[in-house]
A and B are shown apart, each in its own frame.
Chain A
Amino acid sequence: MAASSERSPPPFPDSEEPELLEDSDEGADAFTGTSISEMDSPSPDSTRPPKDIFNEPPEDIFSDPLSNINSEPQKKVDTKIPSPSSDEAVDLFSEPLDDDSEVMSSPEVQNPMPDLLNEPVEAPKSDVLGEPPVHKNAARQQDFFEDPPKGSNNSSSSVKKAVSAELFGDDEDEEDLFKETPKVVTKKPQPSGPPVDVFTEVKSDVKVKPQVKDDPTDLFTEEALTAPAQKPPASSSSSSRTNGVHSEEQDLFSEATVELSLDSPLNDRKKKDAVKPSLSAPAASVASSSSKAPSKTLEELEEEESEDKFDLNISVTNPEKVGDGMNAYMAYKVSTQTSLTMFRSKTFTVRRRFSDFLGLYEKLSEKHSQNGYIVPPPPEKSILGMTKVKVGKEDPSSAEFVERRRAALERYLQRVVSHPSLLQDPDVREFLEKEELPRAVSTQALSGAGFLKMLNKATDAVSKMTIKMNEQDVWFDEKIQDVENEEQHMRKLHVMVESLVNHRKELSGNTAVFAKSVAMLGSSEDNTALSRALSQLAEVEDRIEQLHQEQASNDFFTFSELLADYIRLLGAVKGCFDQRMKAWQRWQDAENMLQKKREAEAKLLWANKPDKLQQAKDEIAEWEAKVTQYEREFERISATVRKEVIRFDKEKARDFKRQIVKYLESLLNSQQQLIKYWEAFLPEAKAIA
């Protein structure tokens, strides 16, 4: 985002704003599917020019990032940026979006997530770039674009016109371009002076307004902020595959945005004229895309809701000690029950040992965490606890340890399979289905691999400290802070709950001692009825001791472990943020390198050394490609992380609710037992005479 904003020239915003508005309107209509009439005025401009440009150049663009492609992307970027610049424009913009979001949500919701994995990441790119231009030609897309305007128009068409006039006025001050094309105003995307400010303003405005609505708005704002450029491609892609997988779309979306933004800098310097006509198209796409973003979020939500119905039940049972001495290990029965067709049968059971679970995590984490996925962490290794088990002491603490671990492993697996992307991972399936797994070796705490891992962690920590990321995305900025705070609160809470567990155990122990003492007192009592009552009291206290003990284990398993899980999970979330930061750093490094190469080229030009010039140009091209790639990666990881975090938050809220209810029910149960015990005792007390 930041990069795009910086690069994009200032003037664009103004010109684009009108377009955006129009586009957004169109997008709204498209969804509502009401009328095509309004489309005409804006559509011709937008649709036509883009067609030409897009159709022809798409291939070129990809192939030659520097030349033609750059120009196009720039346009897109520009369009986005300008729109927000004027407040009024923003308002209009926001309104349409809201409408869109609502409208959009319904159709898209039904699409399933799983497709994401299947389709390769690269595919989206081509689609995005190629499609936008094509789409315009295609009837579908046209509808898409056309429709949206209506919706927006309905809500605020009149306003827009007035606004547009005003906007233009404002724009005029800044740019001449606007004056030239009053009608098409939006279409003129040429970059000029002060884009950065505009951009920022836009961001803020956009955010505020959308926020009125809860979830969708947030997403929307975020997306808008993060990748304005992305929107056009996304919309196009989405439009093309109305039924397609949403997740893919998002990926596509992010990639597309990246490319666009990358292109933008080059574009600025190059052919502005060519860009102009095409601009309208991107703008339109932007609008539609913006509308889509919210819709997607809604979809996600619904998808997640539907995950509950995911017919996949995993249980970890029968912990069993295998072997003797220090080579002993615990094996667990992992049973799966499912009707999902991706599995070979409906129920199957495998035996897995703890290190297999760790190995699964290692594999998943290697593959997915760098892409910004939150890979649920497994329970920690506990050398002490396991050693106790190995030594074979049948004391309650080692039984508790085994049960605690079993429950943690079960929750861990359930979290893994409830993640739509991880469920698709072949390693997960293998873990659940395959009879024999290759032994996971790198999971031993004291092994060389373990040491390497520690080393890596240490270097990661150091590099994390040295990276000073200038966070441009307010959503991330807030979220990172939130997660940090939440983790701290959770830790505190966890300590409190642990002390509750300990105090309850202590109370239980003291109650048992008291019960014995009262029993003795009862035996010494010479009044028969009182003696009887006292021994009854001792029995009641004995039962209460049991109750306390059960409640203490409920405190622990239902409440404390939940918190421990989430402290670990929040760590994983932070890991995602770190991955994103790393991607950003990579991109920035490439950017710096590119800058250096350009300076070198300028020097060569100055020194008039044409022989080396070609090489410098090649290098620049190479680094530009890298910058493009890294930025795209960054955008993609940002989008993924955000999606993941949103999913995580939802999951967390649901998880907590479920567990809290469960915990309160356990409390309820023990109180009910308590009532029973005391009520049984009451007649005994009354019988004392």
Chain B
Amino acid sequence: MGALMVIFSIQPKERRKTTGRLNDSVEDELELSTVRHRPEGLEQLEARTRFSRKELQILYRGFKNECPSGIVNEETFKDIYAQFFPQGESSTYAHFLFNAFDTDHNGSLSFEDFVMGLSILLRGTIQEKLNWAFNLYDINKDGYITKEEMLDIMKAIYDMMGKCTYPILKEDTPRQHVEVFFQKMDKNKDGVVTIDEFIDCCQNDENIMRSMHLFENVL
């Protein structure tokens, strides 16, 4: 009986140690999430981006409202993006988008990342915008867009449409779309699209050029 009591009293202590370790890691996580990220000053941001002071103010207010801690992690980002596409499944595309915005690849988006990205997209030159788009498509950032990467991106875009579409989405619609894309872009038919091919081709395409200016009045 006494032995039993001893054994029972030992076990909780061990468990406490392990839960202690767990607690530590939980605390670490808590610390990480409660880290307040303060962006650099308004002047520096104004210098680095093409936004005016007022625009930066508006952007920051909206940003901070949604993410009081000052940084966005991928989950939150996916949630936010999903609100815009209620009918489809936008998390894959959101993932690619997150990687494209997260230029320093630290797993979270700070206000600087956010605003730098927006500056390119809304106020950049055509060259910069196309560069950004290329960066988005090039998933492994090796400077080449392969068919597989493009297929992933295409599937992600089609996922956002959801199921109820007209005409009905078939299995190989993305693949066909990728074929069309590569036919247009891949000039030397080597199976990959480089940045120069991409930019050249886009600059020669009227539709694409026009649509690049579409969102300039967003802010």
Same assembly: no
Interface residues of B (CB under 8 A from A): none
Interface residues of A (CB under 8 A from B): none
